[in-house]
Amino acid sequence: MDVPFKKSPIRFKQFLNSGDAVAEVLDFVTILGILIISFSLIGLLGYPAIRSAQESRFTENTRQSFVVLADNINKIALGQAPSQNVEIKLYGGKLSVTGNSTIQINGTIYNSTSGNSSEITLDTESMRSIENSIGETMVVYEGTGVWIKYSDDVILNPSQPLIINQSNVLIIPIVYLYGESELAGSGISRVTLCPDEPCSPELTIWSNVSNITITITGNYVSGWKDYFRNAKGLNWEIGGTGDSYTAKLNNTRMDVHILKTLIYAVIT
């Protein structure tokens, strides 16, 4: 015959008053504390690392898209296409046509008839930009190049401007982006270039030019500075501070071809 188990009040009190009960509680509290600390560390250190890795991936994807965008805009600037459109994915930031950057080109012109030389402004124009924000990082098309500006103000140039020295002819394309389109959020957007009528560059040729200077103003001048400093085939002297930068080419006389294109950009 089975005898039902009965709790002994005396033994239960003895257990509660013994060191075994204290050890069980301490073990439980220790394990619980370890779990809480672990979850806190994951939240404190793990989430920012995950977010940083995600923003890096989004920035790289946007960089690739803007290199494609630059290639398409530059086809218009070189007269190779009348219009273009490019899809760009947004990652919670804002894509916009914006900015107030400018370019000014000066040079010394030699007059073979009079034998005199004079310094003049060959061209001055607004450039503006197409910008996409990913967190605190900006990916930008400006002046036929692509620029990436990070939160610490470091600027990289993954796609260089199309300033070309060819057989003693300096070719300088200038792209002026106009329009006020912008779109924010996530998903696929479209940048349409010259939607209403075809765009074509206007060519101006200057002969016998020396002491050429290019002055850039805007938010990405430190990137332009690095570009001119490292430009192959041309020895530019650099100067300027703040949001203005000047590169000077101490050259013998050469021809300067300026290709200027006004491009209407619409973001949808």
CA within 13 Å, CB half, 7: 5
C-alpha closest to that of 207 among 117, 78, 124: 117
Express as a percent the part of the chain with pLDDT over 90. Answer: 66
The pLDDT tens digits of the residues spanning 140-176 come to 999 999 999 999 999 999 999 999 988 889 999 999 9
Q: What is the dihedral of CA 174, 144, 163, 71, to 10 degrees?
A: -130
Residue 102 lies in a domain: yes
What amino acid occupies position 35? L
Q: What is the rounded average pLDDT of the residues 192-204?
A: 94
Residue 12 lies in a domain: no
Domain encompassing residue 141: 50-267
Residue 62 lies in a domain: yes
Residue 13 lies in a domain: no
Residue 92 lies in a domain: yes
Contact criterion met (CB below 8 Å) for 21 and 12? no
Pairing of strands 236-239, 155-159: unpaired
Question: How many of the other CB atoms lie within 10 Å of CB of 24?
Answer: 11
Residue 2 lies in a domain: no
Whether residue 6 is predicted with pLDDT greater than 70 in this model: the reply is no
Contact criterion met (CB below 8 Å) for 157 and 223? yes
Q: Residue 18 and residue 81: Cα distance in Å, rounded?
A: 89
Question: In this predicted structure, what is the pLDDT of residue 30?
Answer: 77
Whether residue 2 is predicted with pLDDT greater than 80 in this model: the reply is no
Provide the H-helix boundaries in the chain.
9-16, 19-41, 47-77, 221-230
Residue 220 lies in a domain: yes
Contact criterion met (CB below 8 Å) for 259 and 74? no
| Total structural domains within the chain | 1
- Cα 252 from chain centroid? 35
Residue 14 lies in a domain: no
C-alpha closest to that of 199 among 83, 92, 67, 26: 83
